[in-house]
Structure 1
Amino acid sequence: MFVRRSNEEEKNKAMEFGIFLPISGRASGPDTLIEAARSAEAQGFNAVWSADRVVTPWQINTSYPYSENHEFIVPPDRPFLDSLTCLAFLAGCTEKITLGISVLVLPYRHPLYWARVAVSIERLSRGRLIMGVGIGWMEEEFAALDVPFKARGRMTDEQLQIIDALWTQEHINFTGQYYNFQDLAFHPKPLQKPRIPIWVGGEGQQAQRRAARYGDAWFPYFVTITPAELQAGYAHVQAQAREAGRNPEQILLTCCRPIELTAQPVPQDERHLRGTPEQLVEALQEYRRIGVKHLALQFMVPRWPDRVEQIARFAQEVMPQLRA
């Protein structure tokens, strides 16, 4: 039986690093995915992360919160593979690297369905799955799926209650506003105990409250933020956890960030991860100091071969100095 490390053990570890998989864009495909995951594993990354998208409308008026110009970064005519399917595929192509999703938009799928898929991946990977979860942002995608956009937060809260019961209880009952069922069995249970780790995405106060009540980690994706601002948000998560009757030490601080390696030194701005390996080491020391336990990195180079080169440089020249 696979038992997850305790939070005290997690907090005493060096900062971990993950990278986003190329599941979207022209380079996406089986050979590229295998190459990306296996090379990340060989280079010492701790996790690979799969983004989530069900449909992409041709016209998107909703402001995208995760790019500097607030426009969605994947054009509608580019391939976008299914997040969970990609992780299931890579479970059989890798041996030890953690497989993560950042983040599964919970209202898009019924919890009884995706909980089964997640446990299947976790079992087939021998306990190597982390579930990043979130409420979504694109109104047009919600409309296409006939899911009420304004109810997405309440639906997500119900789903997080449901999956905790599915993964830990024998006779499962739930009565809510959006989901109702009685006396269900759910097997197999996850290998990780007490459940598959739930890392709650989102940056605002409601996301922080959700992480405090239901999560094993707060997992925001900030495009521009200082480490001090991230630390302040985490302090709010911990305060909310205390109010909810949880031990605040049970919620880890994790984060997604865009990153760019440069050949020459560039002016430094603590709101961005951009620069030479030496500059990035110095910038990331501050993330380690404030207690970030895992940093999921999205290398922002458009062409896949260039991205491969930057990832390798990061693994060789940056990571070892932050694990010393």
Structure 2
Amino acid sequence: MRIGFSVPQFGPFADPHRSAGMCAAMEALGCDSLWVADRLLAPVVPPDGYAGGKPMPVRYGTHLDPLLALGVAASATGRVRLGSSTLNALWQPPPVLARALTTLDLISRGRLDVGLGLGWMQEEYEAAGVPWRGRGARLEETLDVLEAVWRPGTVVHSGALWRITESTVLPKPCQRPRPPILLGGFTAAALERVGRRADGWLGASMPLPFFHGLWAVAVEAAERAGRDPAALRRVFRVNPEVTATEAAPGEAHQRGTVRQICDHLRVMCGAETDEVLVDLQLTTDSPEHFLDLAAQFLAELGEPAPSRPSGSPRP
């Protein structure tokens, strides 16, 4: 199991100098990866689809740009992988997105994981001037353009939304054939896309029956496409509510003691390449407490997982 943490970028952590120091400290603690998130605005009136109509956390209204924050993290570290979970892929034209991601891969010397999603908030699409309808098709063509820009040789693309006449687009990313692409989402369509054309899934800590049902969709899609499902990476995000005493067992996917939450994550991670992403930005306002919790999660998740019988299937 690999262990990652959020890049500090929201609320009291939306300070690039503080974020750089904390990223360096988390790398020194021994984590495997650091990840940015993407938020454009936080409506005062709760948007549809957010936590049963509850207000959004106030700190989501204060945020660093995810790609620039990832550049800060890249400059402050030298070993950890750097990713986005998730970057809203449709808020900028794909050639512009490809240029920024290529630059990040070069800055980080080939440590970039490209995590893309569609987002869920219509108000952000309206502010960005991007149509809400047809998001899935826009993402499919965005992926086509990224592939075209990153493959060797000249770039040409002709699609329903974008056209690139044959052009030279250099430099290419450091990683070959391209940076890994991981896709987020929790619908059947999203998991089908993961299985069909992504390198992995940006998932979340969730109740196991829900998780198994979603992952089965990706596995079936990969098999239909002639791909090996076991080669797909999985990164499980958790925004934990850490408590001093144990929470109810049914809440352990997101709430409880550090050990409770880690026990659930260990059950979800069925392959050595699986990864957890612990986002501590809603848990504390203190950089010192943030780093202390990161050390606790590393210690707990670093313990060996309970052994499974030989030949047990991957969940």
**Under a length normalisation based on structure 2, what TM-score does the superposition of the two structures give?**
0.88
Matches within 5 A, 1:111-122: 111-122=94-105
The yes-or-no answer on 1:310 pairing with 2:293 is: yes
Query: Aligned residue for 2:11?
Result: 25
Partners of 2:305 and 2:28 lie apart in 1 by: 16
2:234 aligns with 253
1:1-324 correspondence runs (5 A): 15-64=1-50, 67=51, 71-74=55-58, 78-221=61-204, 225-269=206-250, 272-289=253-270, 293-299=274-280, 300-305=282-287, 306-316=289-299, 318-322=300-304
Distance change (3 Å), C-alpha of 1:294 and 1:180: same
Residues 1:272 and 1:221: Cα distance change in structure 2 (over 3 Å): closer
How far is 1:54 from its partner?
2.9
Q: Is the 8 A contact 1:19 1:296 kept in 2?
A: yes
Distance 2:158 2:197 in 1: 18
Residue equivalent to 2:313: none
Q: Deviations over 1:142-179 (max 9, x none)?
A: 11221110122111110011111211131222121111
Say whether the 8 Å CA contact 2:21–2:76 is kept in structure 1: no
**Cα gap change, 1:74 to 1:186, in 2 (>3 Å):** farther
- In structure 2, what residue type is equivalent to 1:319? L
Aligned residues: 304
Aligned CA RMSD, in angstroms, stands at 2.3
Counterpart Cα distance in 2 of 1:321 and 1:68: 35
Partners of 1:68 and 1:314 in 2: CA distance? 29
Q: Given that residues 133 and 199 in structure 1 are in contact (C-alpha distance below 8 angstroms), is that contact kept between their aligned partners in structure 2?
A: yes
**Of 133-142 and 261-270, the range deviating more from structure 2:** 261-270
Contact 1:253/1:291 (<8 A) preserved? no
Q: CA deviation at 1:123?
A: 0.7
Distance, in Å, in 2 between the alignment partners of 1:75 and 1:263 is 23
Say whether the 8 Å CA contact 1:261–1:310 is kept in structure 2. Answer: no
Deviation at 1:273, TM superposition (A): 3.6
Change (3 A) 1:194 1:295: same
Please, which runs of 5 or more residues in structure 2 have no aligned partner? 307-315
SS in structure 1 at match of 2:275: strand
1:227, 1:270 within 8 Å by CA — same for their partners in 2?
A: no
Identify unmatched segments of 5+ residues in structure 1: 1-14
Rounded Cα–Cα distance in structure 2 between residues aligned with 1:135 and 1:152: 7
Residue-by-residue CA offset, 1:124-155 (whole Å, 9 max, x unaligned): 11111111101121111111221110122111
Amino acid of the residue matched to residue 181 of structure 1? I
**How many angstroms does 1:73 deviate by?**
2.7
Label 1:189 to 1:138 Cα distance change in 2 as closer, same or farther (>3 A): same
Return the alpha-carbon distance in structure 2 between the equivalents of residues 18 and 204 of structure 1: 24
Change (3 A) 1:270 1:304: same
Mapped partners of 1:102, 1:69: distance in 2: 23
Task: Output the TM-score relative to the length of structure 1.
Answer: 0.85
- SS of 1:308's partner is helix
Distance apart, 1:90 and its partner CA: 1.9
Q: Deviations over 1:41-94 (max 9, x none)?
A: 011111111111234444453322xx4655433457x42110000111221111
